[in-house]
Amino acid sequence: MPGAARPAPRLPQLDGVLVLDKPEGPTSAACLSAIKRLGQKKIGHSGTLDPLASGVLVVLLGQATKLATYLTGAVKTYRGRLRLGATTDTYDVQGRVLAEKDWSHVTAEALRGAILDWKGTTVQEVPAYSAAKHQGKPLYALARAGEEIPVKSKEITVFAAEALDIALPEADFRVSCSAGTYVRSLVHSLGTRFDCGAILTALRREESRPFTLDRAVPLQAVLDEPDLLAGRLIGIAEALPDWPQARLTAGDVRKVKNGIRLSTHGQAGPGARALFLDEDGVPLALAESVPEAGDVRWSILRGLW
């Protein structure tokens, strides 16, 4: 993969969110491993991309790894391309061809309508070649070993879908969906609907809310210019734009660190969330208000110190 062969300089452990523009080809894990060799031992992500896919991969460094739970459920937006007339075991162009069928009965209008029909909430079957796990093992490992693959399904929501360009047997589309949606499964289901098969041939993640491609840095640039990495990071506070912020006094900071729940003083009802900052504006903790002893108090969801 890009940059993998050259010695990587060692940087101090950094804290923040890197919006990476993942290239097509390497796995998400391989991209993180390359960045890890820059001295970033504490590293995570908020949702992987298939090797075929490129685009926004949200990489979490240092203290920002503690945000993973609160970022993984974000809405994702993709631009993709499908091709009618084939079925593969992975539902995309990188898989083994299982069948090829005539697609000439499908009109551009019908295909456009089928893409629009993705919109809504439905139960989606998880592809056999996926990172979803069964008894601790990813399904793709079971599939490659020739073992029986359990049928797993999940509820997903497609918030928006549109056909961008249709030149049969191919079509470009854009889709916004809930986290965990397999776009290649949407394409596979469309092919089943037309009884001719369909595979995903290209996919680019344009957004993993609130992070978009205009903030993304190509992997090669990260590896070639490690000295610029710190300046390319998004701080924890900026990474949570929908969380109201509350700056605490030094006394309240001590209380929070000692496990004492602060009163909301009537300023928040149960279920509210807030990002606590210390007097210097440094992120301290993620909190949620809960009823307690006739009051509403802040319960710490995740300490950031």
Please, which residues have CB within 8 angstroms of residue 193's CB and are 6 or more apart in sequence? 114
3-state secondary structure of 205: strand
DSSP state of 238: H
DSSP secondary structure letters along 41-57: -SEEES----TT-EEEE
Tokens representing residue 36 in the block: 């890890």
Quickly tell me which residue has 């439905």 as its tokens.
Answer: 122
Quickly tell me which residue has 């949407």 as its tokens.
Answer: 186
Q: What is the spatial distance between Cα 114 and Cα 162, in angstroms, rounded to a whole number?
A: 10
Active-site residue list: 50
CA 20 and chain centroid, separation? 11
Q: What is the spatial distance between Cα 232 and Cα 190, in angstroms, rounded to a whole number?
A: 39
